[in-house]
């Protein structure tokens, strides 16, 4: 009599990052609103000039950037009303040596703060890895099902359902079958390394890419 074996598997891979996105804030505070705005604008103008000179979407060292938002707020202080203005800047580097050198030069500027660095892969490489990991996850799932089948003197004869992790139960409730897909995530790293005349030197975290599936196999 055929037996259904249900398993869950995950394939993982660590890959050296290909891109690093800096999350930078330009933020200044003072009693003179107009003066603070002028200072922030001056810093932003200088920063944008640096970025635009290095920006090349294909060859880098900066492949993408965004000046994505600005905020202002004020509050009462014992000496008067204080004003703060903040502008958010994101810059993606393909050359990590240039990234370190540039950081070393801009962080001495009053008002510039680096929040974090997000180490990632290119979309092309990420897609390639996801495809490989989908296939590996299915293979691992079948091997696990074979182990269960062997324990009761059976052999896996066919795959009945393959689904994204968490969907198999939902699909059974809905009466539908699933298709295999991959999930991925990237690592985040704060500023690290040592600074010197050659700038920051980073040893970034590898990027973790995963594919998780659930599957039903028929054993006879």
DSSP-assigned letters across all residues of the chain: --EEEEEEEEEEEEE--SEEEEEEEEEEEES-HHHHHHHHHHHHHHHHHHHHHHB-TTT-SEEEEEEEEEEEEEEEETTEEEEEEEEEEEEEES-HHHHHHHHHHHTTSTTEEEEEEEEE--HHHHHHHHHHHHHHHHHHHHHHHHHHHHHTT--EEEEEEEEETTTHHHHHHHT-------EE---EE-S-SB-STT--B--PPPEEEEEEEEEEEEE-
> Are residue 134 and residue 104 in the same domain, yes or no?
no
Residue 36's domain is classified under what CATH number?
3.30.70.360
pLDDT of 30 reads 94
pLDDT of 133 reads 95
> Are residue 85 and residue 158 in the same domain, yes or no?
no
> Are residue 32 and residue 105 in the same domain, yes or no?
yes
> Are residue 109 and residue 88 in the same domain, yes or no?
yes
> Are residue 88 and residue 149 in the same domain, yes or no?
no
> Are residue 37 and residue 114 in the same domain, yes or no?
yes
Structural domain harbouring 137: 3-16+124-219
> Are residue 115 and residue 147 in the same domain, yes or no?
no
pLDDT of 174 reads 54
Tally of structural domains, the chain:
2
> Are residue 42 and residue 77 in the same domain, yes or no?
yes
Pairing of strands 183-184, 207-219: antiparallel
pLDDT of 168 reads 80
> Are residue 105 and residue 166 in the same domain, yes or no?
no
- Rounded CA-CA distance 109/86 in Å is 15
pLDDT of 177 reads 39
pLDDT of 154 reads 92
pLDDT of 51 reads 97
Domain boundary among 81, 105, 120: 120
Domain boundary among 72, 94, 120: 120
> Are residue 29 and residue 89 in the same domain, yes or no?
yes
Instruction: Work out the angle between the directed axes of helices 33-54 and 96-106 (0-180°, nearest 10).
Output: 160
> Are residue 96 and residue 30 in the same domain, yes or no?
yes
> Are residue 7 and residue 64 in the same domain, yes or no?
no
Domain boundary among 54, 87, 120: 120
Residue 173's domain is classified under what CATH number?
3.30.110.170
Ranges of residues in the chain with a pLDDT under 70 are 169-199
């Amino acid at each position: 009599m055929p037996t259904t074996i249900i398993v869950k598997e995950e394939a993982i891979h660590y890959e050296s990052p290909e891109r690093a996105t800096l999350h930078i804030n330009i933020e200044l505070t003072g009693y003179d609103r107009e003066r603070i705005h002028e200072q922030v604008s001056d810093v932003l103008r200088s920063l944008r000039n640096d970025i635009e000179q290095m920006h090349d979407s294909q060859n880098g060292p900066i492949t993408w950037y965004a000046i994505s938002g600005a905020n202002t707020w004020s509050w009462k202080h014992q000496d008067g009303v204080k004003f703060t203005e903040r502008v958010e800047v994101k810059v993606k580097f393909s050359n990590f040596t240039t990234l370190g050198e540039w950081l070393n030069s801009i962080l001495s500027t009053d008002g510039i703060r680096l929040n974090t660095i997000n180490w990632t892969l290119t979309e092309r490489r990420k897609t390639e890895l996801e495809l490989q990991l989908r296939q590996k996850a299915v293979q691992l799932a079948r091997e696990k099902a074979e182990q269960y089948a062997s324990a009761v003197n059976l052999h896996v004869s066919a795959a009945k359902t393959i689904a994204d992790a968490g969907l198999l139960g939902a699909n059974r409730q809905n009466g539908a079958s699933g298709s295999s897909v991959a999930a991925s995530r990237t690592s985040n790293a704060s500023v690290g390394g040592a600074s010197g005349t050659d700038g920051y030197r980073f040893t970034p975290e590898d990027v973790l890419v995963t594919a998780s599936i659930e599957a039903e196999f028929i054993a006879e």
